[in-house]
């Protein structure tokens, strides 16, 4: 199949591109230099020329704290850019997969969020990603919205890499213990997207590695797996702390856990437990 990937240099975009190529698909992997999503003419030109059957839209403004002051920048990429991709994809009848986020919820629920629960984003980042969702639903007739959370992978910066670095440099680390969610390994998410894109099961999906933890428990697991894998000299002692002890410009959801209702009801295989994905990732990083 012919697939166009936006944000192809990003954490997820790189893994999606590599997997698609490995599976024999024809891929146009677009970086910002090749596809400026905020330019409608450029989007129409690139997509109509390549004529993909599927567009996987990974490009996004993801600087959560910076978005609080760069409101226009966040909306220009996450809303206007997504509109441009949706319109261009619709003009040639391509399927569209839009990557969204747990930040579209307010994080106050006592239970995991399901796909059709009301959204209530609290940050500019979350609001701009939700705007992208609305535009996809309005402008595309063959769409998948895939919300994910706590993403990490081989390419780019992320929590796991930061913990591995600080764990070898610092004697003590405080990590938030009152926010819970589901870590997501980009290689596993890419595998799910590969299956989804070949289906006609349109709609909203919550897709993360299965199982939940707090950031503190995630850090504990990172250190444990790093010690088991070898290649890392983890010396830091972990201490749990509260969100209030580390104020940030953008509010973080206390509960980012998302129920995989759509995966189950569409008869799809769930993504493996987060600890298994983490183990594989750290094994790769230790080599």
Q: Domains in the chain, please, with CATH?
A: 2-158+182-211+257-272 (3.40.50.720)
d(CA 165, CA 196): 35
Residue 231: is its pLDDT beyond 90?
no
Please, is 201 exposed, middle or buried when counting C-beta atoms within 10 Å of its C-beta (0-12, 13-18, 19+)?
A: middle
Residue 62: per-residue pLDDT? 96
Q: Is 113 part of the annotated catalytic residue set?
A: no
Give percent of the chain with pLDDT exceeding 70.
100
Residue 246: per-residue pLDDT? 85
Residue 287: per-residue pLDDT? 81
H or E segment to which residue 203 belongs: strand 203-206
Give percent of the chain with pLDDT exceeding 90.
98
Contacts of 118 (CB under 8 A, 6+ apart): none
Q: What is the mean pLDDT of residues 2-20?
A: 98
Residue 230: per-residue pLDDT? 86
The whole-chain average pLDDT of the chain stands at: 97
Residue 30: is its pLDDT beyond 90?
yes
Which is catalytic among the residues 125, 152, 205, 216?
Answer: 125
Contacts of 24 (CB under 8 A, 6+ apart): none
100-151 pLDDT, tens digit each: 999 999 999 999 999 999 999 999 999 999 999 999 999 999 999 999 999 9
Residue 249: per-residue pLDDT? 95
């Amino acid at each position: 199949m012919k697939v166009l990937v936006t944000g192809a240099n990003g954490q997820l975009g790189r893994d999606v591109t590599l997997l698609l190529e490995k599976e024999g698909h024809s891929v146009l992997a677009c970086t910002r230099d090749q596809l400026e999503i905020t330019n409608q003419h450029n989007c129409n030109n690139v997509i109509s020329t390549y004529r993909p059957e599927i567009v996987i839209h990974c490009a996004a403004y993801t600087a959560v704290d910076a978005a609080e002051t760069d409101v226009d920048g966040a909306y220009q990429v996450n809303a206007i850019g997504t509109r441009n991709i949706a319109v261009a994809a619709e003009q040639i009848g391509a399927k569209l997969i839009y990557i969204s986020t747990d930040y579209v919820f307010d994080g106050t629920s006592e239970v995991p969020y399901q796909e059709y629960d009301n959204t209530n984003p609290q940050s500019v980042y979350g609001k701009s990603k939700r705007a992208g969702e609305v535009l996809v639903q309005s402008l595309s007739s063959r769409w998948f919205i895939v919300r994910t959370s706590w993403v990490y992978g081989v390419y780019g910066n992320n929590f796991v890499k930061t913990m591995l670095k600080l764990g070898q440099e610092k004697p003590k680390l405080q990590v938030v213990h009152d926010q819970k969610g589901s870590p997501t390994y980009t290689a596993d998410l890419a595998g799910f997207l590969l299956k989804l894109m070949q289906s006609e099961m349109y709609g909203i999906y919550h897709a993360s590695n299965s199982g939940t933890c707090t950031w503190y428990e995630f850090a504990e697991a990172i250190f444990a797996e790093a010690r088991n894998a070898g290649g890392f000299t983890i010396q830091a002692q972990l201490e749990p702390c509260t969100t209030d002890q580390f104020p940030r410009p953008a509010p973080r959801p206390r509960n980012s856990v998302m129920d995989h209702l759509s995966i189950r009801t569409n008869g799809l295989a769930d993504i493996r437990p987060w600890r298994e994905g983490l183990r594989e990732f750290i094994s790769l990083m230790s080599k």
